[in-house]
A and B are shown apart, each in its own frame.
Chain A
């Protein structure tokens, strides 16, 4: 395969562009002006959008970091790559870095650990893959990425991937994390603990850790089995819940905005230092988020416990080299479409097996249809799939997998029972249901057990950050 690719690359257009792909983990699209925000939270990203093509209806293929990025790097749906493991099986699957590397690109990734730590297997094809810390910031990934740029060979194009968890880690606020919140007003919103997941039910905060505090008068399980489990829990003496008011919800949302703003300042810094080095104008810059975040809309502060617009809609903006005018594309695309797009723009050969569709025509201002619908999967702990088109979204949530590791009170109180939910008109919801079922039937699934797993240390780190199901496969 390598020889065939090399032969194909030989016919590629001279002077392929260098590519910078920036991933702002957990950044909700609705925090950017290009996606309707009017609060000025992300001035640097807003500025970038004025010279870029903005995809206003871009959806991730999974509301979990590893799976979402695997779709970007392979052009495949996560269910084609993951069985029950946390790690994708990429045997025989060409990755973006791999294809570009074979075609002469120097490839490097600087990731902020967590679900992109090297153990998660997305290093394939990168000459350099550095993960300086766990759940880190652009502070950890931008400097070494610049050092790499300064030390690379100038006679060959580069593919550089830079990632950060700044928006993800709002429960451990960034240096100026209270830019919008009132840091002087103490409250339970400051005591979320180390977990990345928070759940609020009827004005009560349910810590995402093993400690459970609730009373049955404040919770309304949706299923008979759930009510029975809650009754069994309440048979023991439980402490009173910690109140979490609407004001606390508002504060936590503002803390999230502070994290987004900090990430944005770093993004502007990255653009500035690239321009200082004379690289910015000749580089294709793509900016994305891998998924969004629920900020209490359903009592959930997380991205892994359901698929909604808040978690599925993502940022996707692409600036071609020497592009100086903005463009807005409203046609629907998925993050997996980044793969064939960057391959095409690099003049590289497209692997025969992949599920993405290039949106390069949209970048060139040519006629572009987009997808009829996008499909997003929840993480494995949710067993959820969501389909969305212009009429709305329909989500199927199945029973949580046995090894989900969810706190029981969360499972009983907050998660819907098995079934479909939709915000589309009834006739459209029925149509979407049929399309989702067809898609689930027709999309190849990875059934064989992958050989990779997580070390005990990585499992511990992930559990500490609220990923309760980060046990060994």
Chain B
């Protein structure tokens, strides 16, 4: 029985649209960073769409779903699944109140803004400076204010707990026993 099952599994062959296009993405990725940037795409583009039209999520690089969309132009008869943007890293809200300095949190927040093409999205240098200073420091606070304003303009939901709570009474202070 197990042998039969193993034989059956061995002969299962699954063709996927992504699998059909993946070798092309690999060939385009000349620097081997598993992404296709604008220069790599323009090098091979002949009669294809402009990079910005293909880069549907505005990430600055092309991923497999975007290449599939280029191939099929999202014709539902060909590619039944809707276009799903790549999963973006979101700060875990449970972790945020305990974070004083977290570069990744800032980067994740700014990535959202850049994806929304917000012109005030902080630069990488500003992120570094704020992370180095700490989110409680004026540089950190100011950066968070800018990001929150950008979220509001873009109609994005700014995570409620992203701002660290200022230090007050130590937690779990024992109360006077009855």
- Name A residues whose Cβ lies closer than 8 Å to a Cβ of B: 40, 43-44, 51, 139, 142-144, 146-147, 150, 172-180, 182-184, 255, 258, 261, 265-269, 271-276, 280, 324
A408 to chain B, nearest CB (A): 32
* A258:B44 contact, CB within 8 angstroms: yes
* A183:B71 contact, CB within 8 angstroms: no
Q: Which of B47, B73, B79 is close to A172, meaning CB atoms less than 8 Å apart? A: B47
Q: Which of B15, B23, B27, B77 is close to A146, meaning CB atoms less than 8 Å apart? A: B77
Q: How far is the CA of A265 from the CA of B17 in the complex (A)?
A: 9
* A176:B19 contact, CB within 8 angstroms: no
* A265:B71 contact, CB within 8 angstroms: yes
* A265:B24 contact, CB within 8 angstroms: yes
Q: Which of B1-54 contact A (CB under 8 A)?
A: 11, 13-17, 19-21, 23-24, 27-28, 42-49
Q: How far is the CA of A3 from the CA of B47 in the complex (A)?
A: 51
Q: Which residues of A contact B94 (CB under 8 A)?
A: none
6 other A-B residue contacts (CB within 8 Å) besides A146-B78, A180-B27: A143-B78, A144-B77, A174-B48, A183-B46, A272-B16, A272-B19
Q: Which residues of A contact B80 (CB under 8 A)?
A: 273, 276
* A261:B24 contact, CB within 8 angstroms: yes
Q: Which residues of B contact A258 (CB under 8 A)?
A: 44, 46
Q: Which of A146, A184, A266 is close to B43, meaning CB atoms less than 8 Å apart? A: A184
Q: How far is the CA of A276 from the CA of B76 in the complex (A)?
A: 13
Q: Which residues of B contact A267 (CB under 8 A)?
A: 20
B47 to chain A, nearest CB (A): 6
Classify the interface of chain A: helix, strand, loop or mixed: helix
Specify the chain B residue showing the minimal Cβ separation from A276. B80
Q: Which residues of B contact A176 (CB under 8 A)?
A: 24, 28, 44-46, 48
- With contacts defined as CB atoms under 8 Å apart, how many contacts are there between chain A and chain B in the complex? 102
Specify the chain A residue showing the minimal Cβ separation from B81. A276
Q: Which of B14, B44, B72, B79 is close to A275, meaning CB atoms less than 8 Å apart? A: B14
5 A-B pairs closest in CB distance: A268-B20, A173-B46, A175-B48, A177-B46, A272-B15
* A174:B78 contact, CB within 8 angstroms: no
Q: Which residues of B contact A182 (CB under 8 A)?
A: 43
B46 to chain A, nearest CB (A): 3
**Chain A CB within 8 A of B70 CB:** yes
Q: A142-B78, A265-B24 are in contact. Are A273 and B17 (CB under 8 A)?
A: yes
Specify the chain B residue showing the minimal Cβ separation from A190. B46
* A271:B20 contact, CB within 8 angstroms: yes
* A179:B24 contact, CB within 8 angstroms: yes
Q: List 12 A-B contacts (CB under 8 A).
A: A175-B47, A176-B28, A176-B48, A178-B45, A179-B27, A183-B45, A261-B24, A266-B71, A268-B20, A271-B20, A272-B17, A275-B14
* B46:A178 contact, CB within 8 angstroms: yes
Q: Which of B13, B17, B20, B43 is close to A183, meaning CB atoms less than 8 Å apart? A: B43
Q: Which residues of A contact B75 (CB under 8 A)?
A: 143
A252 to chain B, nearest CB (A): 13
Q: How far is the CA of A175 from the CA of B16 in the complex (A)?
A: 21
Q: A271-B15, A272-B15 are in contact. Are A174 and B20 (CB under 8 A)?
A: no
Q: How far is the CA of A328 from the CA of B44 in the complex (A)?
A: 34
Q: How far is the CA of A274 from the CA of B77 in the complex (A)?
A: 11
B136 to chain A, nearest CB (A): 49
Q: Which residues of B contact A265 (CB under 8 A)?
A: 20-21, 23-24, 71
Q: Which residues of B contact A139 (CB under 8 A)?
A: 71-73
Q: Which residues of B contact A142 (CB under 8 A)?
A: 78
* A179:B44 contact, CB within 8 angstroms: yes
* A272:B20 contact, CB within 8 angstroms: yes
Q: Which of A43, A177, A179, A269 is close to B28, meaning CB atoms less than 8 Å apart? A: A179
Q: Which residues of A contact B47 (CB under 8 A)?
A: 172-175, 177
Q: How far is the CA of A142 from the CA of B20 in the complex (A)?
A: 14
Q: How far is the CA of A268 from the CA of B64 in the complex (A)?
A: 14
* B23:A43 contact, CB within 8 angstroms: yes
* B11:A175 contact, CB within 8 angstroms: no
Q: Which residues of A contact B14 (CB under 8 A)?
A: 275
Q: How far is the CA of A28 from the CA of B133 in the complex (A)?
A: 62
B2 to chain A, nearest CB (A): 19
Specify the chain B residue showing the minimal Cβ separation from A177. B46
* A268:B43 contact, CB within 8 angstroms: no
Q: How far is the CA of A283 from the CA of B72 in the complex (A)?
A: 23
* B21:A268 contact, CB within 8 angstroms: yes
Q: Which residues of B contact A173 (CB under 8 A)?
A: 46-47
Q: How far is the CA of A85 from the CA of B24 in the complex (A)?
A: 41
B9 to chain A, nearest CB (A): 12
Specify the chain B residue showing the minimal Cβ separation from A148. B77
B35 to chain A, nearest CB (A): 16
Specify the chain B residue showing the minimal Cβ separation from A323. B11
Q: How far is the CA of A142 from the CA of B75 in the complex (A)?
A: 10
B50 to chain A, nearest CB (A): 11
Q: Which residues of A contact B17 (CB under 8 A)?
A: 268-269, 272-273
Q: How far is the CA of A328 from the CA of B20 in the complex (A)?
A: 23
Q: Which residues of A contact B21 (CB under 8 A)?
A: 265, 268-269
Q: Which residues of B contact A174 (CB under 8 A)?
A: 46-48
Q: How far is the CA of A201 from the CA of B46 in the complex (A)?
A: 27
Specify the chain B residue showing the minimal Cβ separation from A51. B13
Q: Which residues of B contact A268 (CB under 8 A)?
A: 15, 17, 19-21
* A44:B45 contact, CB within 8 angstroms: no
Q: Which residues of B contact A255 (CB under 8 A)?
A: 46
